[in-house]
Amino acid sequence: MRTTPYKFAATVYSVLLAGVLGVSGQVAVNNAVYTVDQAMRNYGLISFNNASLTNYGDTWGPIAVGGNLHLDGGSIAQKANLYGNSSDPSLYVAGNLTMRNYVHLENGYASLPGLTGSWTWDGTQKRLTGGGGTLSTSNTNNPLGAVDPRTNPTPQNFNFASIQAELAQASATLAATAANGLIAISGQTLTFSANGQTSGVVVFNLDMNDFNGVLYDANHNGQWNQNTERVSQVKIDVPTDVTYVINVLNATGKTIFNGINFNAGTNNDQLLWNITPDSNPNMADSVSLGGGARFYGSVLAPLIDLSNSGNVAPEGQIVVNSFSHNGAELHFMPFDSTVSFTPVPEPRTWALVGVMAAFAAIVLERRRRRRINGVSS
């Protein structure tokens, strides 16, 4: 069948548009991951509302809380070698602070602009007493550690409401992305495969409705096979130049990996758990982290009230709506994405590119036919 120049151009345009949409979608995913990486800064925990840490021993990284914070003794920001130098406060609480016994700030400085009630600052001992306990900053060598935390500077360009909205959008973008990774069971190990991809972002959808206790419906057929779908451990090995994003779906009111051991894999600093809220506005979106002793990877859950279950220690950075942590240290492993930010052209720019490509295709086709017919152009 004879192909007209216009049909030829339309074909070229369709191919071009499909490629543009594919590239644009990948750029959106990369940019969402990059946004998360940058917004986390050096904080081990960012809670946009209240947070509580009880019987925790210590936190390895800094903490930022937009609401009220309760600390049950312990040490804060213990391992500066993991999160590096920063001008941000290592303990930042926008609301009120309550404590039990002594809390020691090991590195950096505290910024507590929202304290209410009776507080006393001892500049000689570097102690702030009130709220049921004492915050000691005597161990830190930061000059602002010798200053009353109520008057110390807050993080620059750090607005809890704006960051929460930005990360909620990033979370929604990732949740809407088609999965291109493969979840399977090998032996009794739940595995996550890049499916041949060697760079960029690989996305997985982990639906909590596929779990029935320690059984995982790997075939997604609504049935659980006691022999072939039993999971005793999770181990995630992320390829060197790849970032894993695992969208956790339908998790409200559930514990992720309840009764399943979560063991360390490779490059877990390139692993991001995106926990999304459900569609029921009448139910609080509360989720717990399980996994035995550890939960590896950073957690993006800006609209989730998160807690740890069974004394599980998270190994990553955490961004949540609110946080309740008990019976374990709060560890720190920086999220290290393998992608960078790419500006996304406006839709009219893509349209103009498409029109120009179509016009060029018409011109080229006409010239080709003229040459075939022996007509000089």
- Digit-coded pLDDT (tens) for 221-273: 999 999 999 999 999 999 999 999 999 999 999 999 999 999 999 999 999 99
Confidence of residue 88 (pLDDT cuts 50, 70, 90): very high
284 or 134: whose pLDDT is higher?
A: 134
pLDDT digits (tens, 9 = 90+) for 189-202: 999 999 999 999 99
Residue 185 pLDDT exceeds 70: yes
CA distance 368 to 375: 10
The pLDDT assigned to 369 comes to 58
Predicted confidence at residue 353, as pLDDT, reads 47
Condensed to tens digits (0 to 9), the pLDDT of residues 294-323 reads 999 999 999 999 999 889 999 999 999 999
User: Per-residue pLDDT for 64 more than 90?
Assistant: yes
The pLDDT assigned to 26 comes to 87
Residue 331: DSSP 8-state: B
Q: Which tokens sit at 258?
A: 């309840």
- 59, β-bridge pairs: 330
* DSSP for 229-290, written as a single string: SB--EEE----TTEEEEEEEES-TT-EETTT-EEE--SSGGGEEEEE---S-TTS--EEEE-
Residue in 315, 301, 206, 216 with CA at minimum distance from that of residue 262? 315
Q: Is the model's pLDDT at 15 over the cut of 80?
A: no
Q: What percent of the chain has pLDDT over 70?
A: 85
Say which range, 23-27, 203-207, 326-330, has the weakest mean pLDDT: 23-27
